[in-house]
């Protein structure tokens, strides 16, 4: 019985605690909720002005400064002008030590060394004057010709070597046959003296023939050089004649002889005039024919109708017929004149085309002759070479006679031997004769092969020498050009200003060495201004345009300084969202290196709805603001963020003018303690 009152007491106590808790929660609900809501700062929508202005700092630079560059390596003796000095054209800025540069001295020394090497190479070579002249005339060595010539010489040497091997085999066979013959009773016959005489005569003949060949080659070289020059002169004469025939020329009496081109131009003009005249007269004839047909039809119609004015129409028709016939005659005459002029035009055109073809052919021949141009030998050199050839021909003929006599003496002695010699002796003599003849042939072949090998070696050596000389001569020409170029731009003992202006920097002082190609000073040219630039965002760049008013901050300090916005350029360091504003500066107080602050695009307009820039938000649908709205709840009024879409009309670095569903008295949220969205509950931050 006592347990039930205890249960009821416990339940009652629990209910009382629950009700107390609910009462406390209800009483403090606002306080608890407010502790979890995001805090926001707000600012009232107002009306007022919005100024678009872009400001920035930059360093003044000279616009298109002139960099004075020294192309020579020189040492500075003294500095005549200083930074800030004004110079005129040809004013001396630096005085230099010495009169020439190291580059010019080196170039002259290199040229003299190249000339010495070239002269020494000519002396050490075996080239003739004509060959040296050919090198200096620009006739280059053809490697293909050299290889072809060497191949021909190698083939000739190989052929002679094959013949030599055959002769040696034959000699070995004869010597073997001689070894088989019993020579115990064979009397000896001495032909040594006669054989030596024959050998010496052959050697002397070979030397004379070699000297003759050399003389023939020299004469041929002279004749070839002269022929090249004669060919070039003839080609030049043909070209001048063809050019006169095509273009025309002035005679000795001062009158002008038309060429094929001028005659064609005149015939073409005459043909065009006569063609136009014929077309005009033919048109007139057609008009008169039409008039005659009209009058004839009227006459026939009147005649058929029995009209009283038939006679008048017939008279008019006859007059029209007469006029038509006269016009037809004039048209036929003009047609004949046109046909004649056309024939003349075609003839002149054919003559002009032929003359032009002849001119082109002559010009091509002249170019080919000039490419083969060589220095022509004098008549004295030709005569001397011909006389030398004739003298060597006489020597060869004399040596041939000597050889013939020596061979005849040897033959006579051989024939005077005893007819009663034994068969072995006769055979041995025959074999010895064959041995001697083949030995002579072998000796001749060996000498010929040696001569061919020497000729090949000499030919290759000469061509190598020519190639070497060509290279050395071209090197001389290049070095002469280098010296002339350096002399043409030599400074002498001074560096002068090529422009008029103010010196803004000097690179060298007295005693320093100027390196070739370095800038010695910078000159701000008269008439050229200064510029300043600084980076801005692409959004800021859109707020200004070229020509906008520019204000210099603290302009009272810089006196007459003026600035203009002249260009808006991409920012290479911020290609995604950057621009560069470029300003032109003028005024006596402007100096390179100054640091200035400029503002541009300052324009002010009044707007009905103005909000802070921090209140402008943006999503995928565009820009919007969150305003502070109120909402009634069981626990009282609550603040709620409400989204209002807006369009930004203008902005500066603090506020923006907008257009949207705003009345002008709302409070916009400028910032919040955490991210908020439309319809989120918020609380005001404590001020």
* DSSP states of 184-204: TTPPP---HHHHHHHHHHHHH
Residue finishing a domain among 567, 601, 635: 601
In a domain, 474, yes or no: no
In a domain, 643, yes or no: no
Residues 135 and 130: their CA atoms lie apart, in Å, by 9
Quote the pLDDT of residue 641: 92
The owner of tokens 């033959």 is: 411
In a domain, 613, yes or no: no
Going by pLDDT thresholds of 50, 70 and 90, the confidence category of residue 624 is very high
For the segment 127-171, what is each residue's pLDDT rounded down to a tens digit?
A: 777 777 777 776 666 777 788 888 888 898 898 889 888 888 888
By DSSP bridging, strand 39-44 and strand 681-684 are: parallel
Quote the pLDDT of residue 257: 77
Angle at 661 between CA 658 and CA 665, to 5 degrees: 80
Please give the tally of structural domains in the chain: 4
The answer on pLDDT for 612 being more than 90 is: yes
Please give the share of the chain, as a percent, with pLDDT higher than 90. 6
* Radius of gyration for the chain, computed over Cα atoms and rounded to the nearest angstrom: 58
Residues 116 and 110: their CA atoms lie apart, in Å, by 10
Predicted TM-score (pTM) of this structure = 0.30
In a domain, 519, yes or no: yes
Whether residue 416 sits in one domain with residue 326: no
Whether residue 349 sits in one domain with residue 276: yes
The answer on pLDDT for 321 being more than 60 is: yes
Quote the pLDDT of residue 237: 79
By DSSP bridging, strand 494-496 and strand 256-258 are: unpaired
In a domain, 378, yes or no: no
Residues 328 and 78: their CA atoms lie apart, in Å, by 96
More confident residue, 136 or 640: 640
SS3 category, 495:
strand
Quote the pLDDT of residue 185: 45
Quote the pLDDT of residue 277: 82
The arithmetic mean of pLDDT across residues 325-336, rounded, is 80
Going by pLDDT thresholds of 50, 70 and 90, the confidence category of residue 659 is very high
How many other CB atoms are there within 10 angstroms of residue 584's CB atom?
A: 16
Whether residue 73 sits in one domain with residue 26: no
The answer on pLDDT for 645 being more than 90 is: yes
State the CATH number of the domain containing residue 507: 2.40.50.100
Going by pLDDT thresholds of 50, 70 and 90, the confidence category of residue 568 is confident
H or E stretch at 525? strand 518-525
Quote the pLDDT of residue 31: 56
The answer on pLDDT for 28 being more than 60 is: no
Residues 46 and 66: their CA atoms lie apart, in Å, by 55
Quote the pLDDT of residue 335: 80
186-213 burial, b at 16+ Cβ within 10 Å, e below that, comes to beeeebeebbebbeebbebbbebbebbe
In a domain, 639, yes or no: no
For the segment 209-257, what is each residue's pLDDT rounded down to a tens digit?
A: 888 788 788 877 777 777 777 777 777 777 777 777 777 778 778 787 7
The answer on pLDDT for 184 being more than 50 is: no
The answer on pLDDT for 502 being more than 70 is: yes
Structure token digits, residue 600: 């541009």
Please give the share of the chain, as a percent, with pLDDT higher than 70. 88
For the segment 440-476, what is each residue's pLDDT rounded down to a tens digit?
A: 888 888 898 899 888 888 888 888 887 887 888 788 8
Residues 327 and 335: their CA atoms lie apart, in Å, by 12
The arithmetic mean of pLDDT across residues 525-550, rounded, is 80
Whether residue 269 sits in one domain with residue 342: yes
Quote the pLDDT of residue 433: 85
How many other CB atoms are there within 10 angstroms of residue 66's CB atom?
A: 19
Angle at 495 between CA 491 and CA 498, to 5 degrees: 100
Quote the pLDDT of residue 434: 84
Quote the pLDDT of residue 419: 42
Quote the pLDDT of residue 42: 92
DSSP structural state of residue 634: T
The answer on pLDDT for 316 being more than 60 is: yes
For the segment 67-123, what is each residue's pLDDT rounded down to a tens digit?
A: 888 877 778 888 888 887 888 888 888 888 766 666 677 777 888 888 888 778 777
Quote the pLDDT of residue 186: 45
The answer on pLDDT for 421 being more than 60 is: no
Going by pLDDT thresholds of 50, 70 and 90, the confidence category of residue 173 is confident
The arithmetic mean of pLDDT across residues 369-380, rounded, is 67
Going by pLDDT thresholds of 50, 70 and 90, the confidence category of residue 626 is very high
Quote the pLDDT of residue 298: 74
Residues 504 and 592: their CA atoms lie apart, in Å, by 8
Whether residue 135 sits in one domain with residue 84: no
What is the SS3 assignment for 26-95?
A: HHCHHHHHHHHCCEEEEEECEEEEEEEEEEEEEECEECCCEEEEECCCEEEEEECCCCCCEECCCCEEEE
Quote the pLDDT of residue 236: 75
In a domain, 234, yes or no: no
Whether residue 205 sits in one domain with residue 132: yes
How many other CB atoms are there within 10 angstroms of residue 378's CB atom?
A: 10
The arithmetic mean of pLDDT across residues 370-394, rounded, is 74
Quote the pLDDT of residue 463: 81
Residues 6+ apart with CB under 8 A from 413: 191, 194
Whether residue 400 sits in one domain with residue 325: no
Reference 558, options 590, 599, 600; nearest CA is: 590
Residues spanned by the domain of 422:
119-217+390-468
Whether residue 149 sits in one domain with residue 91: no
H or E stretch at 422? none
In a domain, 458, yes or no: yes
Structure token digits, residue 32: 């608890």
Quote the pLDDT of residue 687: 58
The arithmetic mean of pLDDT across residues 200-212, rounded, is 81
The arithmetic mean of pLDDT across residues 11-21, rounded, is 81
């Amino acid at each position: 019985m006592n347990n039930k009152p205890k249960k009821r007491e416990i339940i009652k106590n629990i209910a009382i605690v629950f009700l107390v808790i609910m009462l406390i929660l209800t009483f403090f609900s606002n306080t608890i909720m407010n502790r979890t809501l995001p805090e926001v700062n707000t600012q009232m929508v107002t009306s007022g002005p919005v100024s678009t202005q872009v400001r920035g700092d930059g360093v003044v630079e000279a616009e298109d400064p002139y960099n004075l560059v020294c192309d020579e390596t020189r040492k500075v003796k003294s500095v005549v002008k200083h930074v800030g000095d004004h110079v005129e054209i040809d004013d001396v800025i630096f005085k230099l030590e010495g009169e020439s540069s190291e580059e010019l001295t080196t170039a002259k020394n290199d040229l003299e060394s190249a000339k010495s090497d070239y002269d020494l190479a000519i002396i050490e070579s075996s080239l003739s004057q004509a060959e040296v002249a050919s090198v200096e005339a620009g006739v280059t060595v053809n490697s293909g010709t050299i290889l072809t010539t060497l191949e021909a010489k190698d083939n000739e040497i190989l052929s002679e070597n094959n013949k030599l091997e055959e002769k040696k085999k034959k000699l070995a066979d004869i010597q073997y046959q001689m070894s088989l013959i019993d020579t115990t009773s064979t009397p000896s016959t001495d032909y040594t003296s006669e054989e030596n005489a024959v050998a010496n005569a052959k050697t002397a003949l070979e030397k004379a023939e070699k000297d003759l060949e050399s003389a023939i080659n020299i004469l041929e070289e002279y004749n070839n050089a002269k022929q090249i020059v004669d060919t070039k002169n003839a080609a030049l004469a043909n070209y001048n004649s063809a050019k006169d025939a095509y273009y025309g020329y002035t005679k000795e009496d001062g009158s002008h002889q038309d060429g094929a081109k001028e005659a064609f131009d005149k015939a073409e003009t005459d043909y065009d005039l006569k063609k136009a005249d014929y077309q005009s007269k033919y048109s007139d004839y057609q008009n008169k024919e039409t008039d005659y047909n009209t009058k004839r039809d009227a006459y026939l119609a009147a005649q058929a109708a029995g009209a009283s004015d038939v006679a008048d129409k017939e008279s008019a028709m006859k007059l029209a017929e007469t006029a038509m016939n006269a016009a037809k005659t004039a048209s036929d005459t003009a047609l004949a004149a046109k046909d004649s002029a056309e024939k003349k035009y075609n003839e002149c055109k054919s003559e002009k085309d032929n003359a032009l073809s002849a001119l082109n052919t002559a010009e091509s021949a002249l170019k080919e002759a000039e490419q083969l141009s060589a220095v022509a030998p004098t008549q004295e050199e030709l005569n001397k070479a011909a006389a030398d050839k004739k003298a060597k021909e006489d020597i060869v003929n004399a040596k041939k006679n000597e050889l013939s006599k020596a061979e005849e003496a040897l033959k006579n002695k051989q024939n005077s031997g005893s007819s009663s010699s034994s068969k072995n002796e006769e055979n041995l003599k025959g074999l010895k004769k064959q041995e001697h003849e083949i030995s002579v042939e072998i000796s001749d072949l060996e000498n010929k092969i040696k001569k061919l090998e020497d000729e090949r070696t000499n030919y290759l050596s000469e061509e190598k020498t020519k190639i070497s000389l060509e290279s050395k001569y071209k090197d001389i020409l290049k070095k002469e050009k280098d010296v002339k170029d350096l002399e043409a731009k030599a400074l002498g003992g001074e560096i002068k200003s090529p422009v008029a202006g103010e010196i803004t920097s000097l690179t060298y002082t007295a005693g320093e060495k100027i390196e070739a190609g370095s800038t010695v000073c910078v000159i701000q040219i008269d008439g050229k201004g200064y510029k300043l630039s600084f980076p801005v965002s692409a959004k800021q760049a859109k707020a200004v345009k070229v020509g906008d008013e520019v204000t210099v901050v603290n302009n009272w300090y810089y006196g007459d300084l003026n600035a203009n916005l002249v260009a808006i350029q991409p920012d290479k360091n911020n290609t995604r969202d950057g621009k560069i504003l470029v300003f032109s500066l003028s005024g006596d107080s402007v100096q390179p290196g100054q640091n200035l602050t400029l503002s541009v695009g300052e324009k002010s307009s009044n707007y009905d709805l103005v909000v802070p820039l921090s209140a402008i938000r943006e999503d995928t649908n565009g820009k919007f603001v969150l305003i502070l709205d109120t909402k009634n709840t069981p626990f009282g009024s609550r603040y709620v963020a409400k989204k209002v879409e807006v369009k930004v009309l203008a902005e500066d670095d603090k506020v923006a003018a907008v257009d949207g569903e705003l009345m002008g008295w709302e409070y916009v949220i400028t910032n919040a303690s955490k991210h908020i969205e439309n319809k989120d509950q918020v609380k005001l931050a404590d001020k």
